[in-house]
Amino acid sequence: MKFDTPATTNPIDQMKVVGKPTNRIDGPLKTTGTAPYAYERHDVAANQAYGYVVGAAIAKGRIASMTLDAAKAAPGVIAIVTADNAGTLGKGDFNTARLLGGPGIEHYHQAIALIVAETFEQARAAAALVRVEYAREKGAFDLAAAVDTAIKPKASFGTEPDSAVGNFAAAFAAAPVQVDARYTTPDHSHAMMEPHATIAAWEGDKLTVWTSNQMIAWSVGDMAKTLGIPKENIRFDSPYIGGGFGGKLFNRADVLLAALGARIAKRPVKVALSRPLMINNTTHRPATIQRVRLGATADGKLTAIGHESWSGDLPGGGPETAVAQTRLLYAGENRMTAMRLAVLDLPEGNAMRAPGEAPGLMALEIAVDELAEKLGMDPVAVRVLNDTQVDPEKPSRPFSQRQLNKCLETGAEKFGWAKRSAKPGTTRDGRWLVGMGVAAAFRNNLNGPSAARVRLARSGVVTVETDMTDIGTGTYTIVAQTAAEMMGVPLDKVVVKLGDSAFPVSAGSGGQWGANSSTAGVYAACVKLREAVAQKLGMNAADAVFADGQVKAGRRRAALGDAAADGELVAEDNMEYGDLADKYQQSTFGAHFAEVGVDAATGEIRIRRMLAVCAAGRILNPKAARSQVIGAMTMGAGAALMEELAVDKRFGFFVNHDLAGYEVPVHADIPHQEVIFLDEADPTTSPMKAKGVGELGICGVAAAVANAVYNATGVRVRNYPITLDKLLDKLPDMA
């Protein structure tokens, strides 16, 4: 099905099942520990051996020598995989560094060997017996020091590194009110709870991997390229994924090494990355240095908007697109953005939840707060005043829907924003300095082609098959809701099967495109199934009404399952997109509000209240969508207050490479969170009229918290995370 004109009325609009806050259909499995994750598939292959990954001890250089004798002789060891015996390996399109290093080493903890043994304990012990000597080479590890070497990167995914409208320099210089500030955001780790894990088994030249992966088709293709075998010979199965956040978009060392280990050991091999290895071995959100310049008239109208960002990556990598939102978020005639990329020999930078917008808004939305203060205006009012309903770079192109102002105004009212003291450092609650902050949320909506197969059984049960993944997003449930709505059956008559590359290729889970895209694919397949059902029952598809497990056309009526009386009916389709996303700027919007307390003595910051108001198209399941948003708010709270990969600039690695060292929020950090969804349905996005929401939720959160800290203390911190050591010398004297 091709979606190239805005949707009109369709069966989804009934909203009998779609749009309801249904409990997740995978809930009973997940809450009882019976949902099988990758490393737990004892049943899929007999005689599984255990693999343990050895990571490089240097950031850059070469392996001078590697002595495996002791490891080979260790009890239980079956095989050892290194670059020496792995055969010729390619590199996947989505990988920057090779998944198996040696002799060249590209980053710290790059995998250099896999020990395969009879037991986990034996594999782990033997891994420690591998002796490696390295020839260390000089590397670049310090972004601030590398800024001068940063170059203009090539366009990626159609995004140019630079943009310019009007005459920014002149307009900024002439602006009566200016903000010109530098901000930094650190490297962040996805730190999903389930480590990257895979079981691999070969049958002849055919490989099956039971793994934990967000993007099945991409990863099948990359694995084929890496191993140099046809895609058709590879099957991925990833029905349950213990969190991804972008960290499992691509193949990592676990899947490649499990496959190589299984080939060399001639038996199935299971591999999980150990937690202390994960952070340097896999990808992370790159640090940024950002400069934001805002010029405004005395009454608050933006006349000049400039945003520059510097980030680093390994050779061949890309920039963190931290300026992306600035091209679209606010009105203003004169604009410029620029991204520059330095080579850093740290581990590979890549996508993490809302890549670009998340760190970009961390800077931009502090800058807007600073502007509001200089103007003597309320920060909500400044944002409302500078709203635009069209693409500011291309005014002929409207936003498909844009309710940013309503998000801000609704949030201000619900949060009690009027009670905020405009003068920082003036609200006190016992030992706590209290403040409120606000930030706009913005994330583009992306759609991708997505296919599904639907089967109708004689029992009336509808089974959906797609290689779409559920990384905690609620995919199982919204796919079931979509099929139930389309086929007119209750939710318990729908079976959803996901994550298997044997199923039709979906959009996958990333870039908050999964929910709208994958359900649109299910919609397309269900339209075909409805046609097949009508034909089978001798009805005109256009007249057929699917409801309550029955199909009606005129005076004729049949049970849905009757259509499959003499055999299962199967339909498959792929939703593809025309140019609506070019004609309309499709984006999602929100407003985040936070209240913090700062201990006047110690500078400890604790969040007291959080509210998000989101305008993100039709909300397919308000319960699951709300969870996406509160989860993103939690990750945003982490970015505001604690998350930072500490770079050792001498040795080139992230030092705090475990969950004790890299702090993410715990229960005690997070208050009760409120989420409000504005009522929307966007007919330009798909027949579902939905958009993404899972990444919108993190966009702007950290800045809202940062602005609240400023409001509480009067101390402006522009370097994330905002930790007490950055406040201490500016807090009121304790004497």
Task: Report, in Å, the least distance between residue 401 CB and other proteins.
Answer: 26
Q: Report which of 692, 702, 706, 731 is spatially closest to residue 359, judged by C-alpha positions.
A: 702
Q: Is 695 an active-site residue?
A: yes
Structure tokens, 5 = 């004109």
Structure tokens, 512 = 């908050």
Residue 135, Cβ neighbours under 10 Å: how many? Answer: 12
Rank residues 79 and 146 by Cβ distance to other proteins and give the closer one. 146
Q: Does residue 648 bind other proteins (CB under 8 A)?
A: yes
* 45 within 8 A of 259, measured Cβ to Cβ: no
Burial group, residue 724, by CB count within 10 angstroms (0-12, 13-18, 19+): middle
Q: Does residue 36 bind other proteins (CB under 8 A)?
A: yes
Q: Report which of 660, 658, 659 is spatially closest to residue 276, judged by C-alpha positions.
A: 658
Rank residues 457 and 670 by Cβ distance to other proteins and give the closer one. 670
Residue 564, Cβ neighbours under 10 Å: how many? Answer: 22
Chosen residue from 2, 47, 135, 315 binding other proteins by CB under 8 A: 135
Chosen residue from 2, 138, 423, 428 binding other proteins by CB under 8 A: 138
Task: Report, in Å, the least distance between residue 216 CB and other proteins.
Answer: 16
Q: Does residue 11 bind other proteins (CB under 8 A)?
A: no
Query: Which stretch in 71-79, 176-184, 227-235, 367-375 sits in contact with other proteins by CB under 8 A?
Result: 71-79
Task: Report, in Å, the least distance between residue 504 CB and other proteins.
Answer: 24
Chosen residue from 154, 275, 414, 423 binding other proteins by CB under 8 A: 275
* 440 within 8 A of 567, measured Cβ to Cβ: no
Q: Does residue 240 bind other proteins (CB under 8 A)?
A: yes
DSSP state, 698?
G
Per-residue mark of binding to other proteins, 37-56 (x: CB under 8 A)? x-xx-x-----------x--
Distance from chain centroid for Cα 602 = 34
Chosen residue from 388, 473, 519, 588 binding other proteins by CB under 8 A: 473
Chosen residue from 4, 5, 31, 203 binding other proteins by CB under 8 A: 31
Residue 122, Cβ neighbours under 10 Å: how many? Answer: 20
Chosen residue from 306, 317, 511, 665 binding other proteins by CB under 8 A: 665
* 519 within 8 A of 507, measured Cβ to Cβ: no
Q: Does residue 34 bind other proteins (CB under 8 A)?
A: yes
* 128 within 8 A of 290, measured Cβ to Cβ: no
Q: Does residue 429 bind other proteins (CB under 8 A)?
A: no
- Site size for other proteins (CB under 8 A): 126
Rank residues 328 and 646 by Cβ distance to other proteins and give the closer one. 646
Residue numbers 669-708 binding other proteins by CB under 8 A: 669-673
Q: Does residue 472 bind other proteins (CB under 8 A)?
A: yes
Q: Does residue 193 bind other proteins (CB under 8 A)?
A: yes
Per-residue mark of binding to other proteins, 564-603 (x: CB under 8 A)? -----------------------------------xxxxx
Q: Does residue 502 bind other proteins (CB under 8 A)?
A: no
Q: Is the dihedral of CA 284, 289, 293, 294 positive or negative?
A: positive
Task: Report, in Å, the least distance between residue 539 CB and other proteins.
Answer: 38
* 479 within 8 A of 592, measured Cβ to Cβ: no
* 375 within 8 A of 298, measured Cβ to Cβ: yes
Rank residues 219 and 627 by Cβ distance to other proteins and give the closer one. 627
Q: Report which of 19, 76, 136, 144 is spatially closest to residue 481, judged by C-alpha positions.
A: 19
Q: How far apart are CA 710 and CA 714, in angstroms?
A: 5
Q: How far apart are CA 121 and CA 328, in angstroms?
A: 53
Chosen residue from 129, 181, 328, 495 binding other proteins by CB under 8 A: 129
Structure tokens, 217 = 């088709």
Tell how strand 428-429 and strand 432-444 pair up: antiparallel
Q: How far apart are CA 647 and CA 382, in angstroms?
A: 37
Q: Does residue 35 bind other proteins (CB under 8 A)?
A: yes
Task: Report, in Å, the least distance between residue 287 CB and other proteins.
Answer: 14
Residue numbers 605-634 binding other proteins by CB under 8 A: 606, 623-624, 626-628, 630-634
728: number of CA atoms within 13 Å, CB side?
Answer: 6
365, 409, 485, 695: which is the annotated catalytic residue?
A: 695
Q: Does residue 604 bind other proteins (CB under 8 A)?
A: yes
Q: How far apart are CA 285 and CA 645, in angstroms?
A: 10
Per-residue mark of binding to other proteins, 364-403 (x: CB under 8 A)? ----------------------------------------
Task: Report, in Å, the least distance between residue 572 CB and other proteins.
Answer: 28
Residues with a known catalytic role = 695
